[in-house]
């Protein structure tokens, strides 16, 4: 594909739908920046855990909000990274401790407000420097960039998403048992979709794409077709 992306592509959906992989590949194919907002929530969750607190503690809110100022997100799709106080924490934030706590921390309104502000600043910077950015998360099209010219909501069945999570964990050297992974997928879906602040849902004008029977290449081809159809690449 030739041409560069202009504007924002908002990629939303629950875990295990392939958001990260296809978002990075789309950004790379279009010469755009890439932002994983989920990594930002995981990083502030790690800060909470390192403080010896839990996401439900009142003190956790203060720690998490303060940690937002210590985050650095690298938006290069060929080498994305998340740093906390200068430390690369990409590997640690994918571990089971953070995964178990991130939904609770993400549900804190003050944390979401602080991170949305930071995300909007990063998006504005990327648009100024590169012209386009692919942003993935759970509330991008509904809250962070509600005027994005293309919003896509990826979905897949619980079983398929659990299987994908298992494969990712095993590839990263983490222990993965199907029953435990499936239970975690269901738990996070419930927490993310029922929280009071920015619950997980497709924006009214988002294109819903079921990835159950689609490969990464299939999804990428559809996304490339959509950005061209919307006139977002030149």
How many angstroms separate the Cα of 56 from the Cα of each of 53, 78, 104, 108, 233? 8, 35, 6, 9, 44
Q: How much is the pLDDT for 10?
A: 98
Pairwise CA distance, residues 100 & 163, whole Å: 18
How confident is the model at residue 193, as a pLDDT? 83
Q: Residue 134: CA atoms inside 13 Å, Cβ hemisphere, count?
A: 30
- Indicate the SS3 state at residue 173: coil
The torsion angle over the Cα atoms of residues 150, 75, 165 and 153, rounded to 10 degrees, is -10
Structure tokens at 151: 């919003």
CATH 3.40.50.10160 fits 7-226, yes or no: no
pLDDT digits (tens), the chain, 234 positions: 558 999 999 999 988 888 999 999 999 999 999 999 999 999 999 999 999 987 777 899 999 999 999 999 999 999 999 999 999 999 999 998 998 899 999 999 999 999 999 999 999 999 999 999 999 999 999 999 999 999 999 999 988 888 888 887 777 787 778 888 888 888 888 878 887 787 888 999 999 999 999 999 999 999 999 999 999 999
Tokens describing residue 210:
């079921």
State pTM to two decimals: 0.90
DSSP state letters, 77-99:
TTS-EEEETTEE-TTGGGSHHHH
Q: Are strands 132-137 and 87-88 parallel, antiparallel or unpaired?
A: unpaired
Q: Which residues contact 27 (CB under 8 A, 6 or more apart)?
A: 5, 33, 34, 77, 133, 134
């Amino acid at each position: 594909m030739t041409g560069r992306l202009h504007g924002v592509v908002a990629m939303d959906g629950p875990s295990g739908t392939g958001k990260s992989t296809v978002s990075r590949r789309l950004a790379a194919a279009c010469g755009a920046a890439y932002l994983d907002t989920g990594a930002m929530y995981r990083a502030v969750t790690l800060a909470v855990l390192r403080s010896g607190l839990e996401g439900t503690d009142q003190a956790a809110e203060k720690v998490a909000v303060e940690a937002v100022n210590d985050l650095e997100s690298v938006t290069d799709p060929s080498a994305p990274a998340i740093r906390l106080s200068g430390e690369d924490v990409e590997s640690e934030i994918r571990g089971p401790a953070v995964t178990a706590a991130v939904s609770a921390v993400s549900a804190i309104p003050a944390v979401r407000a602080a991170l949305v502000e930071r995300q909007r600043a990063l998006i504005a910077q990327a648009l100024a420097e590169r012209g386009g950015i692919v942003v993935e998360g759970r509330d991008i099209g509904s809250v962070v960039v509600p005027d994005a010219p293309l919003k896509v909501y990826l979905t897949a069945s619980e079983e398929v998403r659990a299987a994908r999570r298992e494969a990712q964990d095993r590839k990263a050297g983490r222990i993965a048992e199907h029953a435990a992974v499936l239970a975690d997928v269901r738990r996070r879906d419930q927490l993310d979709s029922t929280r009071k602040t920015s619950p997980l849902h497709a924006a009214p004008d988002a294109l819903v794409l079921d990835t159950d029977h689609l490969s990464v290449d299939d999804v990428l081809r559809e996304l490339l077709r959509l950005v061209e159809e919307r006139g977002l690449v030149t």
